[in-house]
Structure 1
Amino acid sequence: MHNPNVNHAYLLKRLLRYIKWTLAFGLPITKSTLQLRTFSDADWAGDPITRKSTSGYCTFLGHNLISWTVKKQKIVSRSSTESEYRALAAATADILWLQRLIADFRITSAEPTNLYCDNTSVIALAHNPVFQAQTKHIEIDHRFLRDNIQNNSI
């Protein structure tokens, strides 16, 4: 802002062109229920160079998409379960924030938010109260998810 140059003007022009040609794009918002649902996934060691995983999740309020994230994980996961657990923990933190935000609008839900995951070992581990020695490297995420399942948040 204080020292613009030719490159900045070029980038501004490019941004304005993009906005002009994408005005008709958007997310549809339809009348539906006020129930939260979140879908989470991760690709284990998906980056061929660093072998870091990519996490992603999206949250719907009824039929309307209200939150989404795709992000490369900061450290290398030692298993697909660890990678998926990191994605689920991030999705759970987002769900808790959204639940508080929705509560501020005086919208209450008696049911916990459904959190969908496609990894069967993660699902089994999340419902298992006995912590296994083989999964000690994901203990914090495991405890975080178990607590929120027991609290009926998710």
Structure 2
Amino acid sequence: MHTPLQQHFLSLKHLLRYVKGTADFGIQLRSGSLSLRAYADSDWAGDPFDRKSTTGYCLFLGENLISWCVKKQPTVARSSTEAEYRALATAATDIIWIRCLLADFQFSITAPTFLYCDNVSAIALAHNPDQIADIFTKVLPRIPFLTLRNKLLVSPAPSA
């Protein structure tokens, strides 16, 4: 704001033209199911000046868009997976809040809320329950503990 450039002025004009051209737009509401679903995405290091990523998500109740957000992430992500996970975490907090709000209004939603993302690495990470580092941070049942300990190649010393 203190040192605007021509690029900023052009971006502002673009935004104002869009707002003027869509002033009569609105969000339609339709009756239907009370299932929740959300979609989240990020653009890794999308800001060319500070390399911060942008989080974007939208939340639907049935077919109705009820919540959305676009926000620059507060810190620089080291990978697209990290940026995507931050976007998913932000969307998940909104999902929890919406579910609590609906419960306060006596709307019972028993089905799980699906949170969709398109980052292959983030999906693979979420589907991998066999995280070797869990042995350092969690109390594990015997079998998972032994499995992870074996993956670290920890074994009794050979007897002499």
Trace 1:75-154 onto structure 2 (pairs within 5 A).
Answer: 75-131=75-131
1:132–1:27 distance in 2 versus 1, CA, 3 Å: farther
1:39 aligns with 2:39: yes
Greater RCO structure (CA 8 Å; 6+ sep): 1
Gaps of 5+ in 1: 1-17, 134-154
User: 1:110: Cα distance to partner?
Assistant: 2.1
- How many Å separate the matches in 2 of 1:44 and 1:50? 12
User: 1:129: Cα distance to partner?
Assistant: 2.0
User: 1:101: Cα distance to partner?
Assistant: 0.6
User: 1:98: Cα distance to partner?
Assistant: 0.4
Q: Deviations over 1:7-56 (max 9, x none)?
A: xxxxxxxxxxx89x93x321111112111110000000111111110000
Q: SS of the counterpart of 2:87? A: helix
> In the alignment, what sits opposite 1:48?
48
1:59 aligns with 2:59: yes
> In the alignment, what sits opposite 2:136?
none
Return 69-78 or 104-113, whichever deviates more. 104-113
> In the alignment, what sits opposite 1:70?
70
- Counterpart residue identity of residue 81, structure 1: T
TM-score (norm 1): 0.69
Number of aligned pairs?
A: 115
Q: Deviations over 1:61-116 (max 9, x none)?
A: 01110000000011111000000000000000000000001111211122110100
Q: SS of the counterpart of 1:40? A: strand
- How many Å separate the matches in 1 of 2:104 and 2:130? 36
Gaps of 5+ in 2: 1-18, 134-160
User: 1:128: Cα distance to partner?
Assistant: 1.7
- Counterpart residue identity of residue 72, structure 1: K
- How many Å separate the matches in 1 of 2:131 and 2:69? 29
Structure whose CA Rg is larger: 2
TM-score (norm 2): 0.66
Identity of counterpart residues, as a percentage?
Answer: 59
RMSD over equivalenced CA pairs, Å: 2.0
- How many Å separate the matches in 1 of 2:75 and 2:132? 22
- How many Å separate the matches in 1 of 2:131 and 2:95? 24
- How many Å separate the matches in 2 of 1:123 and 1:106? 33
Q: SS of the counterpart of 2:89? A: helix
Q: SS of the counterpart of 1:67? A: strand
